[in-house]
Amino acid sequence: MFERPRGTRDFGPKEMAERRKLERVLRRTFESYGYHEVMTPTFEHAELFVERSGHGILEEMYVFKDKGGRELALRPELTAPVMRFYTQDMQRLPKPLKLYYFGPAFRYERPQKGRYREFWQMGLELIGADTPEATAEMISVAYHSMKNSGLKNFRLRIGDVKILKHFLDGIGKNDRDTMRAIDKRDEGLPEEIMGFISIEDPEELERYGPKEEVEHYKKVLELLSSADVEYVPDLGIARGLDYYTGVVFEIEAPELGAEKQICGGGEYRLAELFGARPVATSGFAIGFDRTLLALKKEGFEAEPSGPDVYVIGTEGTVKNAFSLAEKLRQAGYVVEIELTGKSIGKALKKAASLGSRIALILGEDELMSGKYTVKELSSGEQKKLDLDGMIGFLGPASHECD
């Protein structure tokens, strides 16, 4: 017997209904801000991710050589592939570019709750705009994505790595170890650093500078407040990657414990790493699986939708039942047909168990009269209708074919 690979999952109809429900909400939110979807390959040249994250990333990736000896990798994240796509094909397009993505990524690490070897990310890149307005809108998309999903218990923290590094330069502590300790909220941090990263009033930052970045940070926060975004200023967000250049943020779901971060991003410069002209970029990635896990802890669920119509034919009307079912599908309805020859009574029970709105019975009498027996399963009401009457009874279709 074959088993699924470690760190991967199978998703049944109910789980897929929940995943698609969240996906639809996130897509609608992204698109309401004018973002457009792009898609990149599932595997890339391994060097792409080394350029972005350093050689240590190789230990976390699925790396292999193709038949031509090229070293390839299953993508461990989607920001680098999207920026590679921009560098290769989109540099000359009008700016700003507002792109979003959704898809699986792969990391070779020890599986644990909320962390899998195959996982899904949804995120965006805003390319070619470095104003406070651009950054505020980008963060607003992330915040309202969480709000629109129905998640109640989450927190948005916003910091600025340029301000943080300027402060650390002033005390001679701007190094990787210090940044890592700040990001982890290490209890052994010096009091002067703890005092600085605890500042919540942006006005207090003016004595630390740099002045231009402080004004930029303050304006971003003001704009977010005007967009009904609730946040906590937090200069202790260090982010682990060197290419972040200014405002950074994280969204946490406390119910998830140690793996509570469900979204993160900020302002960064990546295009020049991949050979493009320098361009201001900001963006974020949502951990889709962790977000869904946080939602489910709050009672989020969805069931597979039942058919609009369940068609029940008899031995002499099977061909007509198939024809009728197809006409209804072409009109935009979800239609199932009895495929196993059950009696009408058992077929009606099956239709009800699937959550069908109506059952349509097509026997010899119905075939002769041109009017079908239509039974509304929720009320038990039954009537005779022709095709046009049945479409009117069903109301507007939600699955119209193009």
CA distance 282 to 125: 6
pLDDT of residue 402: 44
Pair 268, 374 in one domain: no
pLDDT average, residue stretch 289-298: 96
In a domain, 68, yes or no: yes
Q: Chain centroid to CA 275: how far?
A: 28
Pair 266, 320 in one domain: no
Token digits of residue 334: 């979800």
pLDDT of residue 398: 66
The CATH number of residue 199's host domain is 3.30.930.10
In a domain, 47, yes or no: yes
Pair 68, 176 in one domain: yes
pLDDT average, residue stretch 163-192: 86
pLDDT average, residue stretch 215-231: 96
pLDDT of residue 44: 96
Q: How confident is the model at residue 136 (pLDDT cuts 50, 70, 90)?
A: very high
**Exposure of 212 by Cβ count < 10 A (0-12 exposed, 13-18 middle, 19+ buried)?**
exposed
In a domain, 226, yes or no: yes
Considering only residues 193 and 242, tell me which one the structure prediction assigns the higher pLDDT.
193
Pair 111, 55 in one domain: yes
Token digits of residue 264: 């993160």
Q: Are 47 and 72 in contact (CB under 8 A)?
A: no
In a domain, 2, yes or no: no
CA distance 262 to 253: 7
Pair 269, 317 in one domain: no
| Residue 57 pLDDT exceeds 90 | no
Pair 229, 250 in one domain: yes
pLDDT average, residue stretch 7-20: 95
* Residue given tokens 């989607």 in the structure block: 78
Q: How confident is the model at residue 61 (pLDDT cuts 50, 70, 90)?
A: very high
| Residue 268 pLDDT exceeds 60 | yes
From 231, 266, 297, give the residue that closes a domain.
297
Euclidean distance between the first and the last CA atom of the chain, given in angstroms as a whole number: 42
pLDDT of residue 184: 79
| Residue 289 pLDDT exceeds 90 | yes
In a domain, 5, yes or no: no
Work out how many domains the chain is built from and give that number: 2
| Alpha-helical regions (H) of 64-119 | 79-85
Range of the domain at 389: 309-393
77 HSE (CA, 13 A, CB side): 19
pLDDT of residue 296: 96
pLDDT of residue 242: 73
Pair 273, 340 in one domain: no
pLDDT of residue 110: 81
The CATH number of residue 327's host domain is 3.40.50.800
Q: Are 386 and 374 in contact (CB under 8 A)?
A: no
In a domain, 304, yes or no: no
Token digits of residue 360: 């349509």
pLDDT of residue 159: 94
Pair 177, 286 in one domain: yes
pLDDT of residue 240: 62
Q: How confident is the model at residue 360 (pLDDT cuts 50, 70, 90)?
A: very high
Phi first, then psi: what are they for 230, rounded to 5°? -95, 130
| Cis check: omega of the bond before 94, within 30 degrees of 0 | no
pLDDT of residue 401: 47
In a domain, 6, yes or no: no
State pTM to two decimals. 0.90
pLDDT tens digits, residue range 75-96? 999 999 999 999 999 999 999 9
Pair 259, 370 in one domain: no
* Residue given tokens 């779901």 in the structure block: 253
Q: Are 17 and 302 in contact (CB under 8 A)?
A: yes
From 297, 332, 353, give the residue that closes a domain.
297
In a domain, 361, yes or no: yes
pLDDT of residue 348: 93
| Residue 131 pLDDT exceeds 70 | yes
Pair 162, 61 in one domain: yes
Pair 215, 123 in one domain: yes
| Residue 241 pLDDT exceeds 80 | no
pLDDT of residue 329: 94
Q: How confident is the model at residue 51 (pLDDT cuts 50, 70, 90)?
A: confident
From 297, 327, 343, give the residue that closes a domain.
297
| H or E stretch covering 295 | helix 288-297
Pair 251, 124 in one domain: yes
pLDDT tens digits, residue range 93-128? 999 999 999 999 999 988 777 689 999 999 999 999
| Residue 236 pLDDT exceeds 60 | yes
Instruction: Tell me which DSSP letter residue 112 carries.
Output: B
